[in-house]
Structure 1
Amino acid sequence: MKLNKIELKEFLDTKVNLYNNPKFIDSDPIQIPHKFSKKEDIEIIGFLTATIAWGNRKSIITNANKMSELMDFSPFDFVINHQASDLENLNGFVHRTFNAEDFKQFIKSLQHIYQTHGGLESIFNKYCTNESLQVSIHKFKKIFFEIEHLKRSEKHVSDPLKNSAAKRINMYLRWMVRNDNNGVDFGIWKSLKPSQLSCPLDVHSGNVARKLGLLKRKQNDAKALLELDTALRKLDSTDPVKYDFALFGLGVFEGF
C-alpha cells in the first residue's frame, strides 16, 4: 500500500479515532487496571498485566484477573504489606512461562521499588532522556533485580539495550503516561511526556508498519523499534504512540 505522507497520516489518524475509544477496552488486557481507581493499584496491576501480555488475549485477561484476586483486589497493599505466608497463596499460578515463583519474585521486587526507590514512576522519570524511555527500561530492569532474586525471572523483563523491542513494557508505559482523553490510556504518570514513548512493537504492529512503509527492518527488535519510532514521530511528534491503536487495530481486527 503506497501512500504519500499526508495520505498516510490521514489514513492512520482515522484508524486511531476508530480504535482509541472505550470500546477497545472490552477485548484488551488494559481492562484489568481499569478496575482500580488508586494510582498505585493501577500502576502495579498494570505492570503485572503487561508482564504476562503475550499469547491468547482471553487467557491473558483471565490470568491477570486471577493475579488481582490472589492479591485480594488490593495490589498496592499486598505488595507493601505482604508476609512470607501471603506469598504461599500464589502457589499454582501460571501463565505460559510465568509461574508462581516468578509472581512471588515480582511482588518482592515491587515492594523493594516502593520502599527504596519511591515507586515505579520515579525510576522511569529519573533515567529518561527527552526523546526516549528506553534507557529508563534498562535501568528499571537493573533496579528490579538488584535484590536477591531468581535468575529465571529475569527473562520476564526485557532490556532494550540488549536489542529487545520490549513490547510489553512499552505498552505498559503507554498506559501510564499517555492521556488520550478517551478513557483508554490512563495518563497518571504526569512527570513523563507522551513524546518520550515508544510504540509497542509486535508481530501485528510490525507487519502492518512494513506494509505501510513505516518500517523496513525484518526483525522486531530494538533497531526496528527505533526505525518505527522515528517514522511515527514525523507523523506526530507530541503523541507518536497513538498510532499503536491504528497499527494494532489494522492487524488484529482488520487482518490488514
Structure 2
Amino acid sequence: MNTQSDPPEELQRGTAALVIAQAIRNDIESGRLVHGRQLPGTRSLAESWNTSVATINRAMAMLAEEGLVINRARSSRIVHNPAAETDRRGPRVILVGGYPGSGKTELGRIIARQTGWAILDKDTTTRPVVEAALEHLGHSPHDRESETYLTIIRPAEYEALMATLDENLQCGASVVVTAPFLRELNDQAWCDRLAATVAAHNGSLQVVWVYCDALTMHTYIRRRGAARDESKLAKWNEYVGLLDLAFAPKVPHARVDNSAGARPLQEQAKELLGKVVAL
C-alpha cells in the first residue's frame, strides 16, 4: 500500500518522465509558462515532483527534442514557444472604473461588442458567491456597507477579479474589466502592481474613469432596481455627500462623461478605442 508521501502509481511504473513532460508541455501551450521564461533548476523540479534528477533530465530531453525547451549551461533551461509571441503588441487591457450607476458596465459592454474582447464585470463574476458568503455570515445578501463586507468580502471580490484578468493575460487575450475600483485607483501601489502585471505579459493598459453627475446617477440607479442599491436610494443626499465627484485615478487615464446631455457612450468608446489600438 502506498503511503501519502509515495509517488503516484503511474510514476512508479516508470512513466514519470512522460507525465512531467506532458504537464510542463501543457503549461507552455496554455501560456502559464511563457516564451523566454527560465524554468526552475533540475533539483528544484525533482523535489517538487517527488522524483529523481535523472527523471527530470529525461523529461527535459523530451521537451528539448520537441523544441519547447532550450537547454543551456549548468542545467539552465528556458521555455521556447515563439509561436505564442506572434502579436508583438501583446494583449490589451481596458480597465473601466466609476461610481455605482455611472454607466461603467455599459461602456465596458459597448467596448467589448466593438472589439470582440472578453469582458470581466465584477458583479457578474462574483455576485452569486458574494451573496452566499454574506448570508452565511449572517448579513443581508445585498449588504455593501457593513464592516464585514468592506473588510472581508470586498477584498476577496477584487482578488478574484484580478486573478481572472491575469489568467486571460496568460492566454494572450485582450480584456475589458469593469468595477468601481474606487479604493484601487486611489492607491498608487495597487496601480503600480496592475501596470507591472500587464507589462509582464507584454500587454498595454488603458485606465478609464466614467464620470456621471449625481442627478443622472440617481436616475440610472433607480431605473436598474437592484436590491443592493436600496440603501443608497433611501439616503440619497447623505450618500451623494460622501462621494468625491471630482475623483481622478492616480494613474494616467481617459475620462468618459456619461452625464445627461453628454456625447453618446458609443461615440466616446469608438474614440477611446482609436487611441488604444494605436498603443
TM over 0.5: no
More strand by share: 2
Q: Which structure is larger by alpha-carbon Rg, 1 or 2?
A: 2
TM-score (norm 1): 0.29
More helix by share: 1
TM-score (norm 2): 0.27
